[in-house]
Structure 1
Amino acid sequence: MAPPRDPTCPRAASPSPSLSATAPGCVEINGHPHRLPTDLSRTAVDFLREDLRLRGTKVGCGQGDCGSCTIVVDGEPRYACVTPVAQLDGRRVTTVEGLATASPCGARLQQALLAHQAVQCGFCIPGMLMAASAAIDAGEVRDRAGACAAIDGVLCRCTGYRKIVDAVTEVGTGAAPRPLTPPPGAGEGAAVGRPLTRLDGPEKVDGSQCFGADGIPADSLYLRAVRCPFPRARFVLGDLDAYLRAHPGLHRVLTHADVPGRNLHGIAPAYADQPVLPASEARHHLEAIALVVGERAAVAALDLAGFPVEWEPLPAVFTVDEAARPDAPLLHANRAGNLLVEGRVLRGDAAAALREAAHVVTGRFASSFVEHAYLEPEAGWARRVGDTIELHSPTQAPHPHREDLARVLGVPEPRVRVVPTAVGGGFGGKLDMTVQPLLAVAAWHLDRPVAIVFSREESMASSTKRHPARIVSTMAAGSDGRLRAVEFEGDYNTGAFASWGTAVANRVPVHAGGPYRLPHYAARARAIHTHVTPAGAFRGFGVPQTTMSQEQLIDELALKAGWDPLEFRALNALRPGDTLPTGQLLDDSVGLVECLDALRPRWTEALARIAARNAKAPPQRRHGVGLAAFFYGCGNTGTPNPSTVRIGVRPDGTLVLHQGAVDAGQGSNTVIPQIAADALGVPVGRLHIVGPDTHLTPDCGRTSASRQTFVTGRAAFLAGTALRRRIRALLNAAEDAPVHFGEGWVGAGDARLPLRELPLDAHGYALCAEERFDPPTRSLDAAGQGRPYATYAFGAQMAEVEVDLETGRVRVRRVVAAHDVGRRVNPTLLEGQIEGAVAQGVGLALMEQYLPGRNNNLHDYLIPTVHDVPEVEVLFVEAPTPIGPYGAKGIGEPALVPTAAAILNAIHHATGARVREAPATPDVVLRALAAAGRGLPLAPGAR
């Protein structure tokens, strides 16, 4: 059974039966007449969401950039966020809630998206459905190109678009529909390994999925943050009482003095350094320094330029070089040199090995801030319920947020309840608290629900980013081609606050040598503070940008030593029985060689095909192919990261799975039940699922570091097997006796037990099993020796590119991704994760560059569209880990790690030029071509 619909989400308003949709001032919406509001300057999306409570139409940007708000007006797709409501007068409007009946293709299109597993977080899906249905109904989707054109005005950050295009093409061309994969029958092994259709899929395609801004109670007060207009400034607040009196509809202004507990929060208590609201100094552009609370209309109409505050701009540092200067201002008094932390891993004598090696290469590399660009801006609401503060918002970390909020409020943890809403994309960005402490403090002081919805600008200015990297590295190989040593130094700009900077600085040195045998190794990484939006967790914790540097050096070293790049990697690849530079023995689940073997025929074919293509291509157009390999530790680095899962049996025989893993689109709402069902030996459909809620589900840790399938999945496996074992013991059944559940009874083999005969536990269950799994790790010592991860994902990707030597533009044409996933729990969901990661890797390599204060929108900050993503072929390798559920490992973060590096190596293969910075925008590529003497001669008079 799918997770239940969020009961806090409002139902749509009733139509007005006495109205005619053609009457002046009226509109037909989903077949029903409605009167337009008197204020015709309002946007259509505001009218739909707030007046009619049709909240399937989403707001991702408010500026017509993302397409999440797409509706259909008289058969044409429109962006509802920029359409004045006056333009709906007398028109026929369809939203996602009415699509199944209003559009001839609507119901089939919704089913096609589910059947193709084209849905991940689901935030963009209403917009995709509306845009695609309009094009299909108009006869414009006759092939795959038509499907791409149909949705090219709607952005998706999760899926990589390919499965969406597959579904739209199927419906538009009238192809035979792909069937849904129903829950399988009973029996161990019946669910794991099957491409089970998402259990929570229907609500993602019918508009009922409840995101942070969708369940806000009608009587809520709204918050708006007063933000610093400077990168760094001292401030003094003026007469707040007079300000309130001058603005009817406002109820309160909250400042640092209103925080009842500790005015600091962060990922770990030891590094909690971010104030809920600062007392006198802001440390990055658009940091919130006060909150205005009032009625929705009053807050929305407020011009904060008149807020009583005096600013004194102060000197600021923006790069790691500036921050490290002796005279640089300190962001935190207890962190000398603005150094947050340094991580290191040391083995052997790298310096001596480099001096003695036959082949040595050195390189410098730099990358930029990268924005998560999830389509759902931060939003949520909170209220007092008795002596408890109850918070509803998108989060990847419900229990850690409860712990942090309890400290902020100065109350015991049980007095804080975190109820995650659906998460419209996360990728690490919703691990940190943003709206949560603001809402909690406001709810503490006010007797009504309080809500906040960030604008796209606020979201981008206040959420964390991927760390910019400054890297210097040297690698060496012997005359036999075997790697001898790596020296690595990396500085990572962690911004104003710690966030996940410690995790990045500690993870990077473990991974900087790549998935290779290395007898000598010295890697250091530093996280350094600057006056910029904090950098935090973003799909890989610093490893993708590190891999861009290191895998280019691997290619250089291979070529210098006279080896084919793939064969060089295969020669040096880690194998079972090898030891990492951390001293950890890899005794199982090391599938890199198999991944390279899977790529080899495609690599050989691509080299020949591209050579032939270049022989015929015009001189300004070059084609190339590149490789990158990787490994990635699943879970936190050398620290505990347990998950706990509970499965109970009610007296009526209902099976209830309590699992608190947040599904941010990766599919844990389906994968965890698949594992639990097989462990218990029942069909997935027999499980009633209780999803994340700190009052109802045990702590499953954070949705990060590719740990949920591995860690929470293992806990679910243990809980299922423990419950089955207990039932067999109660009935004196054989160890292999099948377990059965009926109305009011359980059985094992031929025996039955009435559940009414059993006492109920504190949760109301007649039978219950709760199991915890914490991967066996050991913290790293001062030299980086230890067991940082219990298991690792391995893989390699191959990218084919086309480079225009005149413009510097790069197009990625094809990616082949070979990944060791341990065991495929749900193959199609795994494919979707890899396809989405490849799309993000294309953005990381070629276009994404966050410039603080300059591109806080989805018009100037570019992410890949449907036309930018390449063909993707996925190759699975299964090297099971004995401590994973049925051998499974994580994939969400590993899938992104090698993509950008493979693209940069392909650019070199195409042009002979090395790109030493990312993103490889056209100007960067042209500079690299010029430096390598590989560019085309300029035309006379050209500059």
Structure 2
Amino acid sequence: MDRPATSIDFTLNGRAVSVATPPGQRLTRALRDELGLTGTKVGCDAGDCGACTVLLEGEPVCACLVAVGQVEGQRVETIEGLTASSAVTQKLQDSFLRHGAAQCGICTPGMLVAATRLLERNPQPTEAEAMDAVGGVLCRCTGYRKIVSAILDQGEPGVADSDPAAGSAVGKRLRRVDGKPKTDGTEIFGADETPAHSLLLRAVRSPHHHARFTFGDLDRYVASHPGIVRVVTAKDVPGVDCYGPIPPFADQSVFARDEVRFRGEAVAAVVGQPAAIAALDLAKFPVVWEPLPALTSMAAALDGTAPLVHDKRPGNILTRGRVVKGDVEAALASAPVTVEGEFETGFVEHAYIEPEAGFARRVGDRIEVQVCTQAPYMNLEDIAKILGIPQSAVRIIPTAVGGGFGAKLDMSVQPFLAVAAWVTGQPVQMVYTRPESLMTSTKRHPSKIRAKIGAARDGALLAIDVAADFNTGAYSSWGPTVANRVPVHASGPYYVPNYRALTRAVHTHLVPAGAFRGFGVPQATLAQEQLFDELADKLGLDRLEFRIKNALRGDQPTATGQVIGEGVGIKACLEALRPRWHAARAEAAAFNRSTKAPLRRGVGVAGMWYGCGNTSMANPSTMRTGLKPDGRVALHQGAVDIGQGSNTVILQIFADALGAPIDRIDRVAADTDLTPDCGKTSASRQTFVSGKAAELAARGLRAQILRAANAGEDAKIHFNAGHVTVQDGTRERRIDLTALPVDARGYVFAEEATFNPPTTGLDENGQGVPYAVYGFGAHLAEIEVDMDLGTVKLAALTAAHDVGRAINPTLVEGQIEGGAAQGLGLALMEEFLPGRGENLHDYLIPSAGDMPKVHSILIEDASPVGPFGAKGIGEQALIPTAPAIFNAIFDATGARIRRAPATPDRVRAAILATRLRVMGKEGG
């Protein structure tokens, strides 16, 4: 038990402070809760993520591992203090903004503190020294390369413009418009703000994968714990206790009723004063568990004799997907050359550095929820249903999101907070612990994929046959989306005349699987691209040239029969890799001939494509804009930026479409009371869909102003204080805005525009137009394998992506590098095992030393539909990295890895098995 509170005196950011707290309290808690310095972030409370890095007597430490008693009489510096006093930090902050080194921003203060310590002692570090300095701070967004570049900036000229002239923002390397708060520690994330006197909530969760449960005397439990206000259970949910992202499959309850289906599922919440909640031992909560048989694999779940996970879905099959074209069986039977194989992947954790957090409060007959979320309007609809109130009575206020990647599409704290605040009438806060986040958040779907591919002697693809199962866990989440998206994409970006892809999403008694940067396409690509290498080798063709030969053209039908037309840049992406492909293979061959060490080098390539937005479904975004009497323009922009840069990119699109400089535009951030529905941030849709809506709104507002001036479309508008001037050739017209009437929002002119991508439904064989725009790309991986240890190091990555139009090249590169880092994790180290490794010490993600330099090649094959020709890039950047690495491992070792990740034990086992096969053949 901690000692009672005492006065601890120390120097904080150059001034003497005193806090009354138990000496064993974490320094992070004292800084954030007692002293209000929320720039020090908490990502794990275990010293694993480094987000809480501060300087203690000039040395970087994880504040979560330092007891307040240890800093008695010591000097502590946080990001707030360094921002105010350190010239080194200020220079670093500017460099981070210019290089695009801050994406979501949750790790940025820790990075800056660690880098400040390095540069104060060594103003000209090497790259290795920079990597070492920030090696203890994890980042899930950037891929680290821009962070290292920013640290090594050495006073180089700026790489990002700040205030482009009107009409010239698109294509410029602008700094993030929301970047400064990320670098100075003032950005508000989910855990950084809460109303005074808020209650705290902790969930009571199942320790079993499958169990029945009964409660004891909950009233007595509350009465015996001073400071506890209420225990909330399923019976307290006032509305429809069933929600989910896809309404026909919505099947999750706020709290389980009688039976839990996965380890970590919540059965109750304890709500009370923060001190009382912090002191709780939930092991003593009055609940009795009756463990039941649990299905923890897809094979068991598909066994007809096994108990059902979901009694509404016989056979535990949530849904199926299907795309069929031509006669696959006949084509494969007649194909001169075929290859086939089975591939597996496991659960992969999103591992964003910010755990789920937020607060809710009841305001009369309305509920307000402030939370880190990717989908505010989806949250609004579900909360209204859960509370049984009109949607107009719900307000969702998104905070900054410290990484999402798909998991923050699903609700986490939102339903607990809404119900608790509603029934208690008091504001309630909840912050997930790192183990709680890892235990319960959705994961990338485990998969088992079987595929067979046939080709003609000249290398032309004839047929592909794919059957894939995806473990969707205990609840639906985004399982239907994965099952329907994968069959469209499993052909890869290649022309295939005969094609069949059948998928199933399967329920088990495991944590739900959901959206994770690619919706199943990374798993399918891992299988398909390895088989392409095998097919090329069997045909005696160069692996890259085989792909180029079969690359989809705009006039050829896809697997769904869609003829895309313009904007099909896959061939250009593959051809852009040619120079490095030949050079890298020659270098690897020379190294392998010359060295006697156990190290061998290999080179691999993989292509990808990805449909932007929902599959064959409505996918609208709406933007609102208005011209104010003071001559400034408001943009109500509700697309949530989770680090990808949509706040900046959409503003660039809007500014150029309007013909205004960015500095005349005021962005109204996402808030369901203030901004229209821009849809969820997922599926690489915001630049494309919301960007197009912003373009349409801007052009509509521009047209109104020009009509008022009786000017032509080519006229120039100059926005000034209190008036606009319209120049139409030699004629100039001044409009006095202060003399004009305003609407209910205070605007002189206003416009609202919606864009919904043109798609069609798919027929029974999956034929139709599932997406209006596709992104394309290809990665080339250069790796080094230790043949004795089985370790694999990614030495270099070349990434070519067709982005249609690079609205902001710096941000595009950042997405490519960040996606590649997650692809590296998928390939070599990441696999979540439910019930094990629920921390960032055991669950490994790439750190700064794992990521090599990434050479990005931007192909701009413009889409006729996208804003200024732009396509998405978020998911695309991850998809080809892992298969390129797996192909490079084979190139180096001759061993084919068919289960991800390719951990050292699996690589070593594959190498030994290959040697045994070779010896057997030679012996035979």
The within-5 A match list for 1:520-669 is: 520-669=498-647
Give 5+ residue unaligned stretches, structure 2.
1-5, 920-924
**What secondary structure, in the 3-state scheme, does the structure 2 residue paired with 1:606 have?**
helix
Mapped to 2, the partners of 1:180 and 1:502 lie a distance apart of: 41
Structure 2: which amino acid aligns with 1:351?
E
Q: Is the 8 A contact 2:8 2:68 kept in 1?
A: no
1:330 aligns with 2:308: yes
1:791 aligns with 2:769: no
Mapped to 2, the partners of 1:292 and 1:75 lie a distance apart of: 41
Mapped to 2, the partners of 1:831 and 1:214 lie a distance apart of: 29
| Matching residue of 1:131 | 114
| Matching residue of 2:867 | 885
1:824 aligns with 2:797: no
| Matching residue of 2:450 | 472
Q: Is the 8 A contact 1:651 1:756 kept in 2?
A: yes
Task: State which of 847, 851, 854 in structure 1 corresponds to 2:833.
Answer: 851
The within-5 A match list for 1:285-300 is: 285-300=263-278
The within-5 A match list for 1:890-901 is: 890-901=872-883
Mean alpha-carbon deviation: is it higher for 746-755 or for 853-862? 746-755
Q: Is the 8 A contact 1:67 1:153 kept in 2?
A: yes
Q: Is the 8 A contact 1:341 1:527 kept in 2?
A: yes
1:764 aligns with 2:742: no
Mapped to 2, the partners of 1:249 and 1:37 lie a distance apart of: 20
| Matching residue of 2:41 | 58
**What secondary structure, in the 3-state scheme, does the structure 2 residue paired with 1:761 have?**
coil
| Matching residue of 1:146 | 129
What per-residue deviation string (whole Å, max 9, x for no partner) do you get for residues 43-97 of structure 1? 1000000000100000000011110000001100111111000111111110001
Q: Is the 8 A contact 2:552 2:570 kept in 1?
A: yes
Mapped to 2, the partners of 1:881 and 1:748 lie a distance apart of: 31
| Matching residue of 2:661 | 683
| Matching residue of 2:261 | 283
The change in CA–CA distance for 1:935 and 1:243 in structure 2 (over 3 A counts) is farther
Mapped to 2, the partners of 1:364 and 1:539 lie a distance apart of: 23
**What secondary structure, in the 3-state scheme, does the structure 2 residue paired with 1:371 have?**
coil
Task: State which of 96, 110, 127 in structure 2 corresponds to 1:113.
Answer: 96
| Matching residue of 2:846 | 864
Task: State which of 894, 898, 903 in structure 2 corresponds to 1:916.
Answer: 898
1:175, CA displacement in angstroms?
Answer: 4.3
Mapped to 1, the partners of 2:369 and 2:8 lie a distance apart of: 39
Identity of aligned pairs, percent? 55
1:931, CA displacement in angstroms?
Answer: 2.1
Structure 1: which amino acid aligns with 2:158?
R
Q: Is the 8 A contact 2:301 2:309 kept in 1?
A: no
1:754, CA displacement in angstroms?
Answer: 2.1
What per-residue deviation string (whole Å, max 9, x for no partner) do you get for residues 548-582 of structure 1? 11000000001111110111001000011110121
Q: Is the 8 A contact 1:610 1:624 kept in 2?
A: yes
Mapped to 2, the partners of 1:142 and 1:414 lie a distance apart of: 55
| Matching residue of 1:774 | 756
1:747, CA displacement in angstroms?
Answer: 3.2
Mapped to 2, the partners of 1:292 and 1:545 lie a distance apart of: 39
Give 5+ residue unaligned stretches, structure 1.
1-22, 938-943
Structure 1: which amino acid aligns with 2:583?
E
Q: Is the 8 A contact 2:19 2:34 kept in 1?
A: no
Task: State which of 203, 219, 224 in structure 2 corresponds to 1:241.
Answer: 219
Q: Is the 8 A contact 2:246 2:478 kept in 1?
A: no
Mapped to 2, the partners of 1:138 and 1:834 lie a distance apart of: 32
Task: State which of 464, 477, 482 in structure 2 corresponds to 1:504.
Answer: 482
Mapped to 1, the partners of 2:69 and 2:373 lie a distance apart of: 36
Structure 1: which amino acid aligns with 2:779?
Q
Mapped to 2, the partners of 1:176 and 1:681 lie a distance apart of: 31
Q: Is the 8 A contact 1:359 1:557 kept in 2?
A: yes
Mapped to 1, the partners of 2:50 and 2:874 lie a distance apart of: 25
1:85 aligns with 2:68: yes
Mapped to 2, the partners of 1:328 and 1:169 lie a distance apart of: 58
1:169, CA displacement in angstroms?
Answer: 1.9
Q: Is the 8 A contact 1:103 1:137 kept in 2?
A: no
Structure 1: which amino acid aligns with 2:163?
P
Mapped to 1, the partners of 2:551 and 2:198 lie a distance apart of: 58
1:447, CA displacement in angstroms?
Answer: 2.3
Mapped to 2, the partners of 1:850 and 1:870 lie a distance apart of: 24
Q: Could you state the TM-score of these two structures normalised by the residue count of structure 1? A: 0.95
Q: Is the 8 A contact 2:686 2:872 kept in 1?
A: yes
**What secondary structure, in the 3-state scheme, does the structure 2 residue paired with 1:639 have?**
coil
What per-residue deviation string (whole Å, max 9, x for no partner) do you get for residues 741-795 of structure 1? 2222233221122224433223221101111000001121221111100010011
The change in CA–CA distance for 1:148 and 1:183 in structure 2 (over 3 A counts) is same
Q: Is the 8 A contact 1:805 1:935 kept in 2?
A: no
Mapped to 1, the partners of 2:879 and 2:689 lie a distance apart of: 21
Q: Could you state the TM-score of these two structures normalised by the residue count of structure 2? A: 0.97
1:159 aligns with 2:159: no
**What secondary structure, in the 3-state scheme, does the structure 1 residue paired with 2:850 have?**
coil
Q: Is the 8 A contact 2:718 2:726 kept in 1?
A: yes
Mapped to 2, the partners of 1:104 and 1:90 lie a distance apart of: 25
Task: State which of 242, 252, 256 in structure 1 corresponds to 2:234.
Answer: 256
Q: Is the 8 A contact 1:493 1:527 kept in 2?
A: yes
Mapped to 2, the partners of 1:39 and 1:924 lie a distance apart of: 48
Mapped to 1, the partners of 2:228 and 2:844 lie a distance apart of: 37
| Matching residue of 1:673 | 651
1:332, CA displacement in angstroms?
Answer: 1.8
1:444 aligns with 2:422: yes
**What secondary structure, in the 3-state scheme, does the structure 1 residue paired with 2:245 have?**
coil
1:124, CA displacement in angstroms?
Answer: 0.3
| Matching residue of 1:515 | 493
1:349 aligns with 2:327: yes
Alignment root-mean-square deviation, CA: 1.4
Structure 2: which amino acid aligns with 1:867?
G
The within-5 A match list for 1:138-537 is: 138-139=121-122, 142-170=125-153, 174-176=154-156, 178=158, 180-186=160-166, 188=167, 190-537=168-515
1:620, CA displacement in angstroms?
Answer: 1.5
Mapped to 2, the partners of 1:759 and 1:280 lie a distance apart of: 60
Mean alpha-carbon deviation: is it higher for 730-739 or for 813-822? 730-739
The within-5 A match list for 1:807-822 is: 807-822=789-804
1:404, CA displacement in angstroms?
Answer: 1.0
Mapped to 2, the partners of 1:127 and 1:438 lie a distance apart of: 30
Structure 2: which amino acid aligns with 1:336?
P
Mapped to 2, the partners of 1:826 and 1:643 lie a distance apart of: 21
1:101, CA displacement in angstroms?
Answer: 3.7
| Matching residue of 1:30 | 13
The change in CA–CA distance for 1:922 and 1:123 in structure 2 (over 3 A counts) is same
Q: Is the 8 A contact 2:7 2:21 kept in 1?
A: no
Mapped to 2, the partners of 1:61 and 1:423 lie a distance apart of: 16
Mapped to 2, the partners of 1:109 and 1:801 lie a distance apart of: 32
1:177, CA displacement in angstroms?
Answer: 5.1
Q: Is the 8 A contact 2:397 2:670 kept in 1?
A: yes
**What secondary structure, in the 3-state scheme, does the structure 2 residue paired with 1:142 have?**
coil
The change in CA–CA distance for 1:27 and 1:532 in structure 2 (over 3 A counts) is same
Mapped to 1, the partners of 2:364 and 2:252 lie a distance apart of: 29
1:38, CA displacement in angstroms?
Answer: 3.8
Mapped to 2, the partners of 1:102 and 1:194 lie a distance apart of: 32
**What secondary structure, in the 3-state scheme, does the structure 1 residue paired with 2:656 have?**
helix
**What secondary structure, in the 3-state scheme, does the structure 2 residue paired with 1:867 have?**
helix
Mapped to 2, the partners of 1:934 and 1:589 lie a distance apart of: 48
Q: Is the 8 A contact 2:159 2:173 kept in 1?
A: no
Mapped to 2, the partners of 1:102 and 1:153 lie a distance apart of: 24
